[in-house]
Structure 1
């Protein structure tokens, strides 16, 4: 049985009832990227402004990633894509084929971790909003600097609180 061409093909999304400018500011914070994928090195190759970011990925995986922001109703749908292959230890750009079951377990762990981080972002950006209520419109600051997610806050996603994604055991 031959391994699939791409070992990790993660697609996820979450709706955030928050101002699109606030969501965009949070997505542009490197702290969010580190919370989503702490073992990956991300390099922005396309900044799509309020539509999100596209990355090249190296580290434990090599490939591409995207955080796409789609305005919807009174908020934003955040779409996350990660399409990458496992790499050899210490060689962040050299593909290492995993056995199909190992790749599937690794993909599932990453998927669950990504969902937890997206929900943590939702908790931060929707704080104080009751279910069913429309998104709160933020007060417009005098300077054109939108609020950003605070990575050190207790409800914010933190790389130290997410546990280890770990590498799959070699067999």
Structure 2
């Protein structure tokens, strides 16, 4: 099975990058992102160390990594894993949170692996619209996705939850 990855900038929402990848033997060493890492596993299993705990995310599960949080990533099965990821900036999610009237603090995701079929499907649709270059659909779906994630899975957190 071939490894492949495509990384690009969102066609309509500034400060959001996207990754579509399939990995079998590739291992991400310990690293952190300035913004969030939000995605869905579309095949296989990913394992990642998150603050000293080994987490597993399988097909259909949502992965939520907070900004500046050290983590790794590698295959959880011999067949590897495939996923679609969005990397929004802190400012982008804070803007959506403000539009929703949420408390004025940096949103924080307390759970890093979530079984939420509706959000997983929305991540896939959002990502596919961005991949097609459909700016209007991608923009609309991205805002809907971030609003759904913030209302369903985030808590106000800010610096208190950062390592």
TM-score (normalised: structure 1): 0.29
- Structure possessing the higher radius of gyration over alpha carbons: 1
Q: Which has the higher strand share?
A: 2
TM-score (normalised: structure 2): 0.30
